[in-house]
């Protein structure tokens, strides 16, 4: 046996080496190897930043690993690119914890907790959680606590993608963000799937996902429960597919608000398909300020199921919470070519279809196609539709009865 042991050991070692290389372990950058403690109380930010620096500098498909079974407390961090490899993976299996409320927040920048900036080819996966620990922020929110000294209007977004291209993220959970959970800004070619976003109904401004200056985005197979919009679509957004989503509680799926400070808005090719809305304060919503200009066009809301939803179908071109922006102007955002198709379920408000379009530009090319809405409770009585300057056509059954002004052109 002794005579065999040395060659045997060499053989075993070389086998191990092969295994190591085949697993690509040389490309794994685990935050624990950089000194992160993962105990939920020690600040692990510098370990994360060092691990990111090596990941971003590695040349072939590196992976930043945030392992499971641990909680990593980290402060505000910006993961900057460009990186050397054309794909960068982030395996998020553990939990990342934000500083616990405004008193623990050390940065002067309150806008963002974690951000990727200028990173291309990012893949984030792994059943991990980002816990924003928002309660301390919500408790001092100005909107919910008017008159409170030192109240807060801006609280951190949990995860921001800024000027990134080619992003995929799946299976991640987001809890209790101080404000927006996921923000896409100046970002294109994005696939977000199998996400779980969860914050209480009463948490202020906690949108699930917000898009602004974003092109080619797919958001699918996700559950979103929040205190504000499940998904909100801001200005300069193009080619957005939102499919197979459970939304609620929350404020629904919203395009806008647009044109708040008189901007010229541009939003095109938005498809919202197969969404279940449960007890949300709106369903399919488009909201613009009277001061706005520009256009929203080629929007489809199809196969939506509303359960006890207030304002299931709503266009509000008189959206306003800032006094001088509420006056009638000579402008308006033109909303055209919007199709509502296969919408069913129950409404908590009597006006279930509310197309309150601008008196200046109006809505054109609206299509209502097979809509069957019933009152959520007997007390609501028979549902109605309401149209102001809304033009378009009807197809199939429309309940409540349509109020659209007919036009024969398609726009």
Ligand X SMILES: *[C@@H]1O[C@H](CO)[C@@H](O)[C@H](O)[C@H]1NC(C)=O
How many Cβ atoms are within 10 Å of 344's Cβ, its own excluded? Answer: 16
Q: Which is nearer to ligand X, 56 or 313 (CB)?
A: 56
* Summary count for the chain: helices (H), strands (E): 3, 29
Q: Which is nearer to ligand X, 91 or 276 (CB)?
A: 276
Please state the closest distance from residue 159 (CB atom) to ligand X, in A. Answer: 19
31, 56, 65, 296: residue in contact with ligand X (rule CB under 6 A): 56
User: Is the Cβ–Cβ distance between 340 and 368 less than 8 Å?
Assistant: yes
User: Is the Cβ–Cβ distance between 357 and 363 less than 8 Å?
Assistant: yes
* Residue 251 bears catalytic tag: yes
Q: Return d(Cα 388, Cα 182) in angstroms, integer.
A: 34
Where in 105-134 is the site for ligand X (CB under 6 A)? none
Q: Which is nearer to ligand X, 155 or 182 (CB)?
A: 182
> Considering 251, 334, 405, 406, which one is annotated as catalytic?
251
Q: Which is nearer to ligand X, 137 or 306 (CB)?
A: 306
Cβ contacts of 245 within 8 Å, gap of 6 or more: 219, 220, 221, 222, 223, 224, 230, 231, 253, 274, 275, 276
Q: Return d(Cα 372, Cα 282) in angstroms, integer.
A: 16
CA 150 to each of CA 137, 147, 247: distance values in angstroms, whole numbers, following the listed order: 11, 9, 33
318, 325, 380, 394: residue in contact with ligand X (rule CB under 6 A): 318
Where in 271-310 is the site for ligand X (CB under 6 A)? 271, 276, 305, 307
Under rule CB under 6 A, residue 356 binds ligand X: yes
Q: What is the CA radius of gyration of the chain?
A: 25
Q: By CB under 6 A, how many residues form the interface with ligand X?
A: 22
Please state the closest distance from residue 137 (CB atom) to ligand X, in A. Answer: 30
Of 228, 212, 126, 246, give the one whose Cα is nearest residue 177: 228
Please state the closest distance from residue 16 (CB atom) to ligand X, in A. Answer: 29
Q: Return d(Cα 321, Cα 303) in angstroms, integer.
A: 31
User: Is the Cβ–Cβ distance between 176 and 203 less than 8 Å?
Assistant: yes
Of 296, 306, 282, 300, give the one whose Cα is nearest residue 354: 282
Q: Which is nearer to ligand X, 98 or 313 (CB)?
A: 313
Q: Return d(Cα 387, Cα 405) in angstroms, integer.
A: 8
121 is written with which tokens? 């080819």
Please state the closest distance from residue 201 (CB atom) to ligand X, in A. Answer: 18
Stretch that binds ligand X, among 29-37, 120-128, 194-202, 349-357 (CB under 6 A): 349-357
Stretch that binds ligand X, among 50-58, 98-106, 130-138, 202-210 (CB under 6 A): 50-58
Where in 184-243 is the site for ligand X (CB under 6 A)? 188-189, 215-218, 239, 241
Q: Which is nearer to ligand X, 286 or 351 (CB)?
A: 351
Please state the closest distance from residue 276 (CB atom) to ligand X, in A. Answer: 6
What residues line the site for ligand X (CB under 6 A)? 53, 56-57, 188-189, 215-218, 239, 241, 271, 276, 305, 307, 318, 345, 351, 354, 356, 386, 388
Residues with a catalytic annotation lie at 251
């Amino acid at each position: 046996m002794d005579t065999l042991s040395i060659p045997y050991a060499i053989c075993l070692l070389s086998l191990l080496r092969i295994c190591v290389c085949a697993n690509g372990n040389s490309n794994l950058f685990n935050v624990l190897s950089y000194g992160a403690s993962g105990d939920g109380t020690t600040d692990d930010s510098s370990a994360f930043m060092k691990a990111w620096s090596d990941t971003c500098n590695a040349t072939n498909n590196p992976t930043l690993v945030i392992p499971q079974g641990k909680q990593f407390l980290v402060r505000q961090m910006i993961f900057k690119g460009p990186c050397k490899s054309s794909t960068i993976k982030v395996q998020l299996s553990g939990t990342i914890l934000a500083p616990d409320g405004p008193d623990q927040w050390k940065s002067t920048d309150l806008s963002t907790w974690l951000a990727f900036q200028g990173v291309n080819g990012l893949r984030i996966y792994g059943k991990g959680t980002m816990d924003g620990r928002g309660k301390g922020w919500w408790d001092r929110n100005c909107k919910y606590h008017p008159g409170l000294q030192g109240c807060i209007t801006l609280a951190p977004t949990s995860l921001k993608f800024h000027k990134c291209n080619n992003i995929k993220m799946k299976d991640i959970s987001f809890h209790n963000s101080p404000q927006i959970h996921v923000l896409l800004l100046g970002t294109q070619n994005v696939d977000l799937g199998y996400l779980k976003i969860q914050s209480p109904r009463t948490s202020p401004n906690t949108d699930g996902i917000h898009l602004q200056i974003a092109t080619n985005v797919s958001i699918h197979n996700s559950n979103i429960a929040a205190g504000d919009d499940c998904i909100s679509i801001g200005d300069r957004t193009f080619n957005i597919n939102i499919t197979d989503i459970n939304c609620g509680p929350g404020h629904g799926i919203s395009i806008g608000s647009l044109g708040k400070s008189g901007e010229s808005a541009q939003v095109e090719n938005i498809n919202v398909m197969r969404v279940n809305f449960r007890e949300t304060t709106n369903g399919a919503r488009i909201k613009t300020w009277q001061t706005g200009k520009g256009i929203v066009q080629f929007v489809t809301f199809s196969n939506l199921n509303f359960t006890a939803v207030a304002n299931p179908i709503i266009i509000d071109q008189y959206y306003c919470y800032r006094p001088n922006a509420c006056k009638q102007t000579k402008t308006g955002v033109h909303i055209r070519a919007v199709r509502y198709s296969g919408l069913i379920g129950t409404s908590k408000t009597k006006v279930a279809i509310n197309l309150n379009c601008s008196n200046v530009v109006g809505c054109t090319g609206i299509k209502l196609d097979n809509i069957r809405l019933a009152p959520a409770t007997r007390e609501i009585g028979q549902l109605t539709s309401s149209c102001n300057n809304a033009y378009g056509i009807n197809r199939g059954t429309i309940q409540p009865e349509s109020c659209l002004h007919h036009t024969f052109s398609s726009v």
